[in-house]
């Protein structure tokens, strides 16, 4: 949700800012812009509706000598995507400009107060209110920009990451963080401010991660200082981030999503590496080992997440309840945070988030802490806000996920949840040792299985995509762990192809949704072997007898479900615990190829952003 870049140093700022924005475009792509202060003290702003590519066109032939600047790519919250609402926003006098990610919740009141002081506004954004508030404080108190920023942060309510540039001080940027991510990269003779460290990784691996309430003063040729609204100095900690540029490129694939689907054998290998003792087939999660007592004493686990991570949580519930016999509740983070949840002693809250920045999940973590819970994180982005805000956790280690539709993160989350369940189940002496070893052994072989699955199902997914490109609706069905897999398949299709799709537990069909079935309604059924296989087959018969068109995902060697279905995708036969991972592969590919056939912008679907940092 909006990406911010700032640069101060000795190099030309424009290519660094534009390059950073391109890498941040997954966060929003409604409009883009930048502000520079040139050597003559002149503030220049270029901004436009559309993509970073449009901004690049706008910049052609323009002066790019400035060595300080701020830039932004927008996911609109307040005000439609147009040139005027694009960031940066400039104060009324033209002296200061800022870029903002987040929401100023009390902007209406502040705007009215500023209007009464003679301020007028060009945009309908909350961000323009903030820049004028800072200017107003500075002018009326005759104080420094830093002092004005400190006072302004006491007046605004909401979530924000902001970078401010002042044409009268071209040697300094000011950065503020409150519930929206912001990092400062340290170069040789320069600094890079960004919403995501990955966007400037070609320049540095050393980063300062700002905490909530911190204000950074990033000056040319001087160490970064961090303070608060009350002018208390904060420690400046520098962390190393190991990431290679190739992880941020498409690697010859047409889209990041396709690259990420095909990466899954490798990403799961990385996810599992070092977490199963190969001699004894024992799962070892250091986060559980280091917090053994919490997990031994746990009476209930509450998993909070959003979107795809929530689907992974539903699968995790099956694993944990069956291998640990601990009750598990799964909640949307956005619901949990506002419903006064009951958290008791010995409850553990687990937060799952690929980005580690989802505003609702972060707020749920904070609430769980306030209620005294031990909070465990399952994140992908190293150093992200949720990873840092949780007491302990496990990274899924699948590498940066850039396509808006989550694929490899989902399979990584399910894998970690399975390892977590097995590790806790062993510690508590619940999961039988031979069952645990068998699954651990199968997990070690999973990357190879996924490799074959990809080879096996891709041609099938492509040809089915041709048949169903013009379908208007889809139903996905499954039972047990395959019900969340169905939900995830439906989410993939709707978010990138814009085809309406619903996921249901197969037995629920006859409680209402079966009324939708006719020859125009494709039903994707995950009919892989498990304890409810026969029931799923009966549900397929019910669909079939009402004229529905069935696409069944079945395991190798199946002949029952395969015979009933109109179309079949065969996946390798694996233990039912691993099936959500294997069965997801054709669902990801089906969604991908349908979206491509429809000419959709697969990596940047309309209205969406990869990292949902506003609620």
Q: Provide the annotated active-site residues.
A: 2, 610
Among 36, 97, 405, 486, binds ligand M6R (CB under 6 A): 405
Q: Interaction with ligand M6R in 25-54: which residues (CB under 6 A)? A: none
Smallest distance, Å, CB 310 to ligand M6R?
7
Smallest distance, Å, CB 553 to ligand M6R?
19
User: From CA 549, how far away is CA 561, in angstroms rounded?
Assistant: 13
Q: Is 612 in the site for ligand M6R (CB under 6 A)?
A: yes
DSSP H helices in 71-171 = 107-116, 127-141, 145-155
Cβ distance to ligand M6R smaller for residue 159 or 439: 159
Among 91, 406, 458, 584, binds ligand M6R (CB under 6 A): 406
Position with the least CB separation from ligand M6R: 307
Closest to 405 in 3D by CA, of 224, 574, 598, 600: 600
Cβ distance to ligand M6R smaller for residue 98 or 583: 583
Single out the segment in contact with ligand M6R by CB under 6 A; choices: 227-235, 304-312, 442-450, 459-467: 304-312
Question: Quick one: DSSP state of residue 211?
Answer: P
- DSSP letters spanning 340-400: -----TTEEEEEEESSS--HHHHHHHHHHHHTT-EEEEEESSTT-HHHHHSSEEEE-----
- DSSP letters spanning 500-566: EEEEEEGGGGGGTGGGG-STT-EEEEE--SSTTHHHHHHHHHHHHTTT-EEEEEEETT--HHHHH-S
Cβ distance to ligand M6R smaller for residue 73 or 406: 406
Q: Is 308 in the site for ligand M6R (CB under 6 A)?
A: yes
Encode 112-140 in three state secondary structure. HHHHHCCCCCCCCCCHHHHHHHHHHHHHH
8 A C-beta contact, residue 7 and residue 17: yes
User: From CA 164, how far away is CA 87, in angstroms rounded?
Assistant: 12
Single out the segment in contact with ligand M6R by CB under 6 A; choices: 29-37, 196-204, 226-234, 301-309: 301-309
Orientation of helix 52-59 relative to helix 13-24, angle to 10°: 160
Q: Is 404 in the site for ligand M6R (CB under 6 A)?
A: yes
592: which strand partners? Answer: none
Among 25, 128, 331, 495, binds ligand M6R (CB under 6 A): 495
Phi (first) and psi of residue 528, to 5 degrees: -100, 160
Smallest distance, Å, CB 314 to ligand M6R?
13
Q: Cis before residue 354, ω within 30 degrees of 0? A: no
Smallest distance, Å, CB 188 to ligand M6R?
32
Cβ neighbors of 212 (< 8 A, separation 6 or more) are 177, 178, 179
Smallest distance, Å, CB 404 to ligand M6R?
5
Q: Is 484 in the site for ligand M6R (CB under 6 A)?
A: no
For ligand M6R, how many residues bind (rule: CB under 6 A)? 15
User: From CA 449, how far away is CA 468, in angstroms rounded?
Assistant: 27
State the DSSP H helix or E strand holding residue 217, giving kind and residue range, or none if neither: strand 214-219
Q: Interaction with ligand M6R in 246-285: which residues (CB under 6 A)? A: none
Phi (first) and psi of residue 102, to 5 degrees: 135, -160
Among 361, 497, 528, 532, binds ligand M6R (CB under 6 A): 361
Cβ distance to ligand M6R smaller for residue 97 or 268: 268
- DSSP letters spanning 252-281: T-SSHHHHHHHTHHHHHHHHHTTSEETTTT
Smallest distance, Å, CB 271 to ligand M6R?
15
Smallest distance, Å, CB 402 to ligand M6R?
12
Smallest distance, Å, CB 269 to ligand M6R?
21
8 A C-beta contact, residue 234 and residue 224: no
Question: Quick one: DSSP state of residue 88?
Answer: P
Cβ distance to ligand M6R smaller for residue 307 or 316: 307
Binding mask 320-359 for ligand M6R (x = CB under 6 A): ---------------------------------xxx--x-
Cβ distance to ligand M6R smaller for residue 166 or 360: 360
Among 77, 91, 180, 309, binds ligand M6R (CB under 6 A): 309
Among 306, 330, 454, 486, binds ligand M6R (CB under 6 A): 306
Q: Given the rule CB under 6 A, which residues bind ligand M6R? A: 306-309, 353-355, 358, 361, 404-406, 491, 495, 612
């Amino acid at each position: 949700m909006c990406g911010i870049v700032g640069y101060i140093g000795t190099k030309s700022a424009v290519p660094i800012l534009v390059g950073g924005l391109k890498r941040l475009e997954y966060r929003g792509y409604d409009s883009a812009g930048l502000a520079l202060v040139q050597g003559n003290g002149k503030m220049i702003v270029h901004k436009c509706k559309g993509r970073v590519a449009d901004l690049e066109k706008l910049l052609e032939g323009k002066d790019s000598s400035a060595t300080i600047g701020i830039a932004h790519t927008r996911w609109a919250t307040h005000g439609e995507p147009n040139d005027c609402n694009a960031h940066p926003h400039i104060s009324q006098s033209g002296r200061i400009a800022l870029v903002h990610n987040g929401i100023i919740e009390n902007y209406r009141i502040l705007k009215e107060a500023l209007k009464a002081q003679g301020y007028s506004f060009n945009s309908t954004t909350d961000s323009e209110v903030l820049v004028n508030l800072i200017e107003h404080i500075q002018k009326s108190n005759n104080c420094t920009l830093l002092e004005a920023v400190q006072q302004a942060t006491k007046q605004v309510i909401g979530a924000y990451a902001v970078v401010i540039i002042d044409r009268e001080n071209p040697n300094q940027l000011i950065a503020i963080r409150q519930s929206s991510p912001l990092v400062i990269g340290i170069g040789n003779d320069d600094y890079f401010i960004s919403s995501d460290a990955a966007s400037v990784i070609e320049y540095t691996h050393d980063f300062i991660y700002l905490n909530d309430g911190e204000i950074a003063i990033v000056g040319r040729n001087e160490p970064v200082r961090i303070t608060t609204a009350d002018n208390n100095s904060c420690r400046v900690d520098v962390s190393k981030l190991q990431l290679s540029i190739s992880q941020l490129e498409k690697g010859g694939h047409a889209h990041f999503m396709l690259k990420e689907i095909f990466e899954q054998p490798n990403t799961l290998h990385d996810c599992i590496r070092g977490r199963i003792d190969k001699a004894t087939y024992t799962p070892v999660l250091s986060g559980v080992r280091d917090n053994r007592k919490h997990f031994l004493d746990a009476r209930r686990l509450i998993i909070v997440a959003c979107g795809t991570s929530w689907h992974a949580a539903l699968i995790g519930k099956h694993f944990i309840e069956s291998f640990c016999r601990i009750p598990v509740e799964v909640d949307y983070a956005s619901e949990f945070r506002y419903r006064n949840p009951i958290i008791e002693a010995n409850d553990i809250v687990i937060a799952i988030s690929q980005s580690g920045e989802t505003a609702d999940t972060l707020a749920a973590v904070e609430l769980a802490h306030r209620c005294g819970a031990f909070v465990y994180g399952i994140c992908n982005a190293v150093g992200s806000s949720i990873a840092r805000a949780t007491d302990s956790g496990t990274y899924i280690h699948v590498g940066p996920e850039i396509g808006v539709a989550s694929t490899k993160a989902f399979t990584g989350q399910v894998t970690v949840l399975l390892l977590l369940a097995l590790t806790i189940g062993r510690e508590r002496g619940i999961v039988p040792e031979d069952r645990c070893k068998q699954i651990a052994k199968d997990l070690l072989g999973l990357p190879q299985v996924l490799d074959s699955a990809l080879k096996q199902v891709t041609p099938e997914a492509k040809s089915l995509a041709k048949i169903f490109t013009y379908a208007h609706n889809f139903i996905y069905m499954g039972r047990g762990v395959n019900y969340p897999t169905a939900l995830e398949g439906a989410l993939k299709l709707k978010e990138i192809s814009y085809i309406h799709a619903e996921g249901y537990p197969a037995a629920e069909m006859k409680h209402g949704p079966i009324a939708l079935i006719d020859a125009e309604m494709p039903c994707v059924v995950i009919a892989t072997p498990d304890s409810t296989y026969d029931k799923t087959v009966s549900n397929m018969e019910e669909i079939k007898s009402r004229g529905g068109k069935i696409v069944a995902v079945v395991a190798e060697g199946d002949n029952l479900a395969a015979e009933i279905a109109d179309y079949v995708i065969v996946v390798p036969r694996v233990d039912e615990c691993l099936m959500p991972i294997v069965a997801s592969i054709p669902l990801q590919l089906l969604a991908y190829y349908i979206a491509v056939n429809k000419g959709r912008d697969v990596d940047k679907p309309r209205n969406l952003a990869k990292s949902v940092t506003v609620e």
